[in-house]
Amino acid sequence: MGFVFFPMVGRGIFAAKLGLGIAPAVLTLAMMLSYSVTMSLIYHTLNRPPSVR
């Protein structure tokens, strides 16, 4: 998104032309990290081997 869509709409790489500094890049990083952690936890939970009783 930061390399393709923002430059296509005239915002520059990682929306640098908005004048917000590195905030858009940091927010994008935070969104991607939270998504990847959540998905990995769900994947790990769903693929857990059955417990032996």
Q: Check whether 52 has a pLDDT greater than 70.
A: no
Per-residue pLDDT reduced to its tens digit, 19-35 = 888 888 888 889 999 99
**What mean pLDDT is reported for the chain?**
87
A 10 A CB-CB count for 14 gives 21
The confidence score (pLDDT) of residue 5 equals 84
Q: What are the tokens at 17?
A: 């032309």
Q: What is the pLDDT of residue 41?
A: 96
Q: Report pTM.
A: 0.65
pLDDT value, residue 30: 95
Query: What was the pLDDT predicted at 31?
Result: 93
